[in-house]
Structure 1
């Protein structure tokens, strides 16, 4: 149970003890709301109360900054008797706020244009963790013996022929692998890179381990999928649909080798022959080769396009594979379903013309042959609207993908009446959902079938694409409501993405071996989502393992459980997460601030000639008075990061009193702890508990000198040394970890002549700083100077501070505090 849930439980206990049970809640998007976007919270109650207005309060000052009128009363929904929408879209100022109605307050709300920044990269972590063959999270290999063929006789493959198809991603929290979901996931990752390249970073190698390789990490991940698809289509007449089957479910375990299939560690690889297949008593409804093969075509074509300038040979290989996959899709028109042996649950995909439309559209994008436009239009008209949008129901993966990807790719390439025709299909589908959504306060029009979160993501993407194609924003609020639903504007008030946001109520007990067996975080994994109570009650093998923390919000309509035992609503899926990466990327703004490989802010707005002077202090304080006087005379505002030991030192009290009203003061750890070895940075040498206690002690020391935590949310780690653990732990306290800008050498002012080659004189430091300013620029740079240095260094950089300030002012730079430089 996470910290927020413990706090919520504590509040419930208090209200119970006082005799007052909570019956009203305000649900908000825990990630936050864009300043210029739609911003709506949902008020919901178990009593028939009336609401006419609400207030928005600044969290820091508790002052009312906005008053709004509530929506009409929407009445009952799920566990609630009454509900209203609270729209504060007219309020634009970035910051942290609380919505309040009649004494009931919402969780904290963040407003800013960058509230989604970094989320797509964060979610990408789950995809890397799902890798098979070599798993970078575990730093180990798995499923290296895949596999032996089944049903390949028509292609000259006897059953049990050994074939190398190692690679790709595990499908969910089990270790089956499906070509249909993997090809769709690959396409979404490629499209995310194509459409939003600037939101992604490059901190990983192609194998998923740390280290930049000159390729954005999302493209590395997409290539991991493409490489596997190439293996699954090794020859023009050979294509495979899945590796393993539901015998995989024999136990929950880590992804080692699986001896469940009678061939040692080899797993079965199912050939696509266009006919129904069975291995036990269950027969699927396969009718052809088109659905899976067409998805291959689209992924190969888009991959060929994106790698054309990066790897010509690879791009040409993908083009060849697209051509042969296109032929394979036409061998027998129809759908290819997955195979199950012991249970009745399969990916019962029932439509395939949408896949063919996308295949034809991507072929046209590469070849510009009119026959491909004609083919795409033909298939577009055969299924103009994805059926679940109209029917409001579906079997498991019956209409997959859950969005018609082909309409978007085709419409972009058409003009005139044909373009308008395709776009109208999107609008009609959105209208079908809107007709249902406008009946409830959550604007929920997506059915609660298995993997409802995947449908929610796909529908939001359809709204995004419709707005892009038409510039029509009439469905903006509906689109945003679906995103908001995923991050807390739902009856349970929880995010549906593991660990996102770090400070929020997110899944902590998913149906996953990684978390269940070893407490490994599955960062970024999108869980299946709520299901109709009628579905939940009829599923096989579900049993909740703990008391339901959301029991107050379950209903006869729908349930969601953050419980390992509920595989229907709380199991993360690889393909749903890949779609979410695209959606989140579409919501990100191009970042003008910069972060390092660990996600630490190391540079402010790169477009503005502003810099921030930062001083750190622990046990050495010889420069404090000089620095304070220079800043005063030059009217420069700066930032200071102090340890608790520095703050408690009586020698520093006059100095602290002199600077605290003018400058930013933040935490630097209480005891100046080293968090990780110098020689092995990723090995954390402090426990999470000790790290958090040390920071809390640091904040108590800040409080003692008059610095409130809310005014000191930027944290500079001791020694300016940290790793992923440190940054993640700090974020759970709502902190932003910062460091000086890489490449600057001002931090070398701690060195002294006895350190040999490490020593750098103040003259050399300043020369390097000015050269960087003249040859590049210092826009947004964070410039670190130590408040005190070893007595063996006679050449104190802080004595050259007037020169440094004047030198940068002459070059057009202004000095701001770090909270202003990194303002959100």
Structure 2
């Protein structure tokens, strides 16, 4: 459903949002300012004993907070008291706001924060507060599997697919079964899938202690001697190999925006006029259809944006799997080289295609993808040419372009983080390392310049999929700190984690079912929940959008009264409502990036657990 927003913004007659229903509550044309109550927002998952610990107080203009207390929930006694500090002023629905910092308190336990005007929900401090969180989010990816779906215990899209734009005759049949559905729609993109595979593999490489083995390779319950995160990554790798079946063939997507004509469970997908077959679009490196009615073509200029993502996923897969499955790993390495070669031969971007709408995933950058591919090939081969090429690509885009900006087109700068800088920097020293880490610092500073003056430390733009950007940016902050031992962005990084898990104006986690006891999405824009009443455990929803974007949408109808009405504002809105496809739809690639971030946080707790003081008896 991610493409539907852009079409509805400008061309409402193209289609109606599949979530809209006659008689539902219409989206407001303007924002009425409700009387906002004073509240204390927290990270509902909890806080690590040795980490940054901040809550945010927000309330009406004219109300102030001088001090706050941390209360032991079992005894009701205050265990920590501090001044509220700087008043940050108005933000979103709040006329006044404060950051309540209790980082100095390290004793594990269950607590709440109290001010004269508001009290937070209970929360935990402990080294294990993130335990199992990354594995929990893998549930969503298993549910998104295409081909055999272990959640439904049924198969779908088993006739994918027929080719378009390739060197072979159009409608040539190939086997492209597998992979993951992109979001609540059933499109499949090579770019988002390769990025998902990469983050899953990197999470297992960097934090192997946090992942369990409770499922087989099929996704069904039952241990198989491999961590579940690796099983999921291999599911994605298998599909990517089908999308790059020979050295000179590379495919970019399965299906198109005809998908958006209605909600249904995946095995009932027959929107393409050929039974259950779906189109498979070739990476031609040339413009492809972008809305037949509008006589537009996309602005594809090459294949490197897709080829680079394939090459990095394959190369990392090779390095991690060569001891477990040598033959498979060699096949991955062969395809890593061939994909990289295609990127060298056809530099530029391969944008996605659409049929009904003139709007697409309009990716505009590609050197970051080739940089990461070169970095991973250097890691495998130790051939210095790859390091030189990677560093040259890095210099062409030192800062991911959305960082510090107020807006961007949909998926214009993708992925939302550049792992290539990290992979090259950790394999270098001296001037090269300083240069690469300096690129990260420059990007973080651009965001910090926007974040430092509001209580939530928000510097991420509220464009569609703002939660994906938030998770990616937090990882960039952590990578920079890991490379340099510079901790000046630690509080900014944690603020972005906290935002995703409840420390935001609405006081809700943005992850379905995480934490189990918390306020989390329950009515996402998803056929699984809306039609099948199935939970989508672990799915990261798109997240808040600017009020100006939401106010211009056609086709949104809220199914229920807005429980967060008092906390909506002209700046930014979020609805836990099936009808709001702009803020409450889960995505596969955003969830994968979150899995890496949650694994990082769980590992941080494991690393510091022995040094944590135990509570007094």
Fold conserved between structures, TM > 0.5: yes
Report Cα offsets for 1:504-563 as digits up to 9, x if no partner: 000011000011112111000000000011112233432222211111111111111111
In 2, Cα distance between the equivalents of 1:370 and 1:526?
Answer: 39
* Aligned with residue 250 of structure 1, among 238, 261, 275: 261
In 2, Cα distance between the equivalents of 1:443 and 1:427?
Answer: 17
In 2, Cα distance between the equivalents of 1:540 and 1:198?
Answer: 47
In 2, Cα distance between the equivalents of 1:328 and 1:60?
Answer: 62
In 1, Cα distance between the equivalents of 2:232 and 2:420?
Answer: 22
Report the Cα offset of residue 590 of structure 1.
Answer: 7.9
| TM-score (normalizing by structure 2) | 0.91
Report Cα offsets for 1:264-296 as digits up to 9, x if no partner: 110000001001100623421111110001000
In 1, Cα distance between the equivalents of 2:216 and 2:578?
Answer: 32
* Aligned with residue 413 of structure 1, among 427, 443, 450: 427
Match of 2:244 in 1: 233
Higher relative CO (CA 8 A, sep ≥ 6), structure 1 or 2? 2
1:113 aligns with 2:113: no
In 2, Cα distance between the equivalents of 1:499 and 1:128?
Answer: 15
Match of 2:556 in 1: 542
Q: 1:132–1:142: 8 Å Cα contact kept in structure 2?
A: yes
In 1, Cα distance between the equivalents of 2:605 and 2:490?
Answer: 23
In 2, Cα distance between the equivalents of 1:441 and 1:103?
Answer: 17
* Aligned with residue 266 of structure 1, among 273, 277, 294: 277
**SS of the counterpart of 1:518?**
coil
Instruction: Please give the residue correspondences for 1:682-761 in structure 2 after superposition, counting only pairs within 5 Å.
Output: none
* Aligned with residue 359 of structure 2, among 345, 351, 367: 345
Match of 2:14 in 1: none
Report Cα offsets for 1:417-449 as digits up to 9, x if no partner: 011100000011111111110110000010000
In 2, Cα distance between the equivalents of 1:176 and 1:244?
Answer: 5
Instruction: Please give the residue correspondences for 1:616-695 in structure 2 after superposition, counting only pairs within 5 Å.
Output: none
Report the Cα offset of residue 47 of structure 1.
Answer: 2.9
1:200 aligns with 2:211: yes
Runs (4+) off by over 3 Å: 589-592
Report Cα offsets for 1:230-289 as digits up to 9, x if no partner: 000011111100000010111101110422112111000000100110062342111111
**SS of the counterpart of 1:375?**
helix
Match of 2:201 in 1: 190
In 1, Cα distance between the equivalents of 2:214 and 2:547?
Answer: 43
**SS of the counterpart of 2:297?**
coil
Report the Cα offset of residue 343 of structure 1.
Answer: 2.1
In 2, Cα distance between the equivalents of 1:325 and 1:451?
Answer: 28
Report Cα offsets for 1:698-749 as digits up to 9, x if no partner: xxxxxxxxxxxxxxxxxxxxxxxxxxxxxxxxxxxxxxxxxxxxxxxxxxxx
RMSD across aligned positions (CA)? 2.0
Report Cα offsets for 1:683-710 as digits up to 9, x if no partner: xxxxxxxxxxxxxxxxxxxxxxxxxxxx
Q: 2:207–2:603: 8 Å Cα contact kept in structure 1?
A: no
Instruction: Please give the residue correspondences for 1:136-151 in structure 2 after superposition, counting only pairs within 5 Å.
Output: 136-151=150-165
Match of 1:49 in 2: 63
In 2, Cα distance between the equivalents of 1:246 and 1:331?
Answer: 29
**SS of the counterpart of 1:145?**
coil
Match of 1:570 in 2: 584
1:373 aligns with 2:371: no
Match of 1:666 in 2: none
Max Rg structure: 1
Match of 2:567 in 1: 553
Unaligned runs of 5+ in 2: 1-34
Match of 2:235 in 1: 224
1:396 aligns with 2:407: no
Instruction: Please give the residue correspondences for 1:156-175 in structure 2 after superposition, counting only pairs within 5 Å.
Output: 157-175=168-186
Report Cα offsets for 1:744-773 as digits up to 9, x if no partner: xxxxxxxxxxxxxxxxxxxxxxxxxxxxxx
**SS of the counterpart of 1:293?**
helix
In 2, Cα distance between the equivalents of 1:379 and 1:392?
Answer: 25
Q: 2:365–2:414: 8 Å Cα contact kept in structure 1?
A: yes
In 2, Cα distance between the equivalents of 1:22 and 1:259?
Answer: 47
Q: 1:291–1:351: 8 Å Cα contact kept in structure 2?
A: yes
| Residue correspondences, number | 578
Unaligned runs of 5+ in 1: 1-20, 593-604, 608-820
Q: 1:114–1:589: 8 Å Cα contact kept in structure 2?
A: no
Match of 2:469 in 1: 455
* Aligned with residue 536 of structure 2, among 519, 522, 530: 522
Q: 1:198–1:590: 8 Å Cα contact kept in structure 2?
A: no
Q: 1:525–1:574: 8 Å Cα contact kept in structure 2?
A: yes
**SS of the counterpart of 2:531?**
helix
In 2, Cα distance between the equivalents of 1:345 and 1:126?
Answer: 27
Cα 1:357–1:589 shift into 2, 3 Å? closer
Report the Cα offset of residue 103 of structure 1.
Answer: 4.4
Match of 2:54 in 1: 40
In 2, Cα distance between the equivalents of 1:184 and 1:444?
Answer: 25
* Aligned with residue 506 of structure 2, among 468, 474, 492: 492
**SS of the counterpart of 2:603?**
coil
